[in-house]
């Protein structure tokens, strides 16, 4: 009997368990998936929780409800991966010998990387919304906050869901308008990049939206320190931005397990072939989702597209066939812009987001890089799709794993 082990039962790991269960011969392969947690969180929901749009119940379900029969779920902390000997060592003392390992351990915030970030003001006037605890604490703060300077801030790239902080700023604008206190709130968007997003056309569209909503933007800001006493953030060039409420996206890092196992880079991401999703160092290790260092967005949609290609490549690997270098960095993200509207972006390694229609060229119904209510409905419907379609590894109709060029208005 051969064994395939999946590390991490989040979005990517769960999808792989569901794909492979259908593809691998039960008589020949055992599939194990390991996670220390028992809850599966719908992470995009962390964006809506602070504004009382979602409740905790909308976001949290049990991991075991999404792991298919025939896949063994182990709830244990992974101590180390001994890649030379193909062994996974667990905290309980158990060891698993694997033939194939899939790393799907994700990325998490590391506020300790910036001086003073998780200091005395942490969760008092300095918040994150990339964890459930942070998002919930921020909800409680926003319920009573009487206004002042709100600073929405990105520490450094790459981060999970690079549009989330922008969405936060847009939703905050809308939230305070609805509470009739927008005039009491000054919103500033602070980013280490030169503009709102990483790609030029989307940046132009999003910069315009920030301007329209009266949100100030401070770009090229590389934070050195959070000054807790004087409530300001200071960058390496000496620039200072005061805040009454700081909502920051701390440095994101891969799991510490990668550091312990010598498998990660300086941010604990696993060096991975960006086309095949195979580890660059170990042939029997594959990496999916936020855990890898590939230059694609760290987002659930990316993991979904990767999962289709990775499943194929694992079957090829088992048969001894050459792997397909097929993953193109495809990402598809709804961007909430407030007031019940959203825009949609669809892009890959080589094609930046542009205007157009999606998924049917010339028809839509979704509009690329333009605000619409339909896009917002799409974003809200996505939670249902996530729990009921995406995690099960079911192909989403009309949306291919690699990006479609038709329907997009390239120059």
Partner 1 sequence: MEKIIAGIPVEVNEEGYMTNFSQWNKDIGKALAAEANISLSPRHWEVISYIQDEFRKEVPLSIRKIGKSGVVDIKEFYALFPNAPLKTATKIAGIPKPASCI
Q: How far is the CB of 200 from partner 1 (least distance, A)?
A: 9
Helix H or strand E segment including 367: strand 364-368
Question: What track of x and - describes contact with partner 1 for positions 361 through 390 (by CB under 8 A)?
Answer: ------------------------------
Measured in degrees and rounded to the nearest 5, phi and psi for residue 126 equal: -120, 120
| Three-state DSSP class for residue 30 | strand
Interacting positions 278-337 with partner 1 (CB under 8 A): 295-298
Q: How far apart are CA 116 and CA 122, in angstroms?
A: 9
Interacting positions 220-259 with partner 1 (CB under 8 A): 220, 222, 224, 236-237
> Is 261 or 293 the residue whose CB approaches partner 1 more closely?
293
76, with CB counted inside 10 A (0-12, 13-18, 19+), is middle
- Torsion sign, CA atoms 9, 10, 11, 13: negative
Measured in degrees and rounded to the nearest 5, phi and psi for residue 6 equal: -110, 125
> Is 84 or 266 the residue whose CB approaches partner 1 more closely?
266
Kindly state the tokens that stand for 22.
């259908």
User: Is residue 274 a contact partner of residue 294, using CB atoms and an 8 Å limit?
Assistant: yes
> Is 40 or 160 the residue whose CB approaches partner 1 more closely?
160
> Is 9 or 249 the residue whose CB approaches partner 1 more closely?
249
Q: How far is the CB of 237 from partner 1 (least distance, A)?
A: 5
Taking CA atoms, 358 is separated from 161, 351, 361, in Å, by 20, 15, 6
Stretch that binds partner 1, among 30-38, 141-149, 170-178, 186-194 (CB under 8 A): 186-194
Q: How many residues interact with partner 1 (rule CB under 8 A)?
A: 19
E-assigned strands of 116-231?
Answer: 126-127, 148-154, 185-190, 216-218, 223-227
Q: Report if residue 266 touches partner 1, rule: CB under 8 A.
A: yes
Query: What are the residues facing 285 on neighbouring strands?
Result: 101
Among 140, 178, 194, 388, binds partner 1 (CB under 8 A): 194
Question: What track of x and - describes contact with partner 1 for positions 139 through 178 (by CB under 8 A)?
Answer: -----------------xxx---x----------------
Q: Report if residue 411 touches partner 1, rule: CB under 8 A.
A: no
Q: How far is the CB of 157 from partner 1 (least distance, A)?
A: 4
Q: Which residues bind partner 1 (CB under 8 A)?
A: 156-158, 162, 192-194, 198, 220, 222, 224, 236-237, 266-267, 295-298
């Amino acid at each position: 009997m051969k064994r395939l082990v999946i590390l991490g039962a989040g979005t990517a790991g769960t999808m792989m368990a569901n794909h492979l269960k259908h593809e691998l011969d039960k008589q020949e392969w055992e599939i194990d998936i390991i996670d220390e947690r028992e809850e599966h969180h719908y992470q995009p929901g962390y964006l809506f929780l602070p504004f009382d749009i979602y409740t905790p119940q909308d976001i949290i379900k049990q991991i075991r409800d999404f792991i298919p029969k025939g896949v063994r779920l182990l709830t244990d902390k992974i101590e180390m991966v001994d890649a030379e000997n193909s062994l996974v060592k667990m905290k309980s003392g158990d060891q698993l010998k694997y033939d194939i390992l899939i790393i799907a351990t994700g990325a998490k915030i590391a506020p300790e990387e910036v001086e003073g970030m998780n200091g005395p003001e942490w969760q008092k006037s300095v918040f994150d919304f990339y964890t459930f605890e942070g998002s919930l604490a921020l909800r409680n703060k926003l319920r009573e906050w009487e206004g002042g300077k709100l600073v929405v801030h990105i520490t450094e790239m790459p981060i999970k869901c690079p549009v989330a902080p922008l969405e936060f700023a847009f939703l905050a604008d809308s939230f305070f308008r609805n509470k009739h206190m927008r005039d009491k709130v000054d919103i500033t968007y602070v980013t280490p990049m030169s503009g709102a997003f990483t790609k030029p056309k989307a940046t132009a569209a999003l910069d315009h939206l920030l301007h329209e909503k009266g949100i100030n933007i401070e770009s090229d800001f590389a934070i050195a320190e959070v000054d807790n006493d004087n409530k300001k953030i200071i960058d390496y060039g000496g620039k200072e931005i005061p805040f009454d409420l700081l909502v920051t996206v701390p440095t994101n890092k891969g799991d510490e397990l990668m550091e312990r196992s010598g498998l990660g880079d300086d941010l604990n991401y696993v060096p991975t072939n960006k086309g095949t999703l195979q580890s660059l160092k170990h042939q029997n290790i594959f990496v999916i989702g936020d855990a890898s260092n590939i230059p694609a967005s760290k987002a659930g949609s990316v993991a979904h597209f990767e999962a289709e290609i990775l499943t194929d490549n694992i079957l090829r690997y088992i048969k001894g066939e050459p792997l397909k270098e097929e993953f193109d960095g495809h990402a598809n993200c709804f961007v909430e812009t407030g007031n019940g509207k959203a825009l949609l972006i669809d892009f890959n390694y080589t094609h930046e987001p542009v205007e157009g229609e999606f998924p049917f060229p010339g028809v839509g119904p979704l509009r690329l890089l333009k605000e619409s209510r339909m896009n917002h409905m799409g974003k809200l419907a996505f939670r249902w799709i996530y729990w009921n379609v995406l995690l099960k590894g079911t192909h989403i109709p009309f949306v291919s794993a690699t990006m479609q060029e038709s329907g997009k208005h390239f120059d």
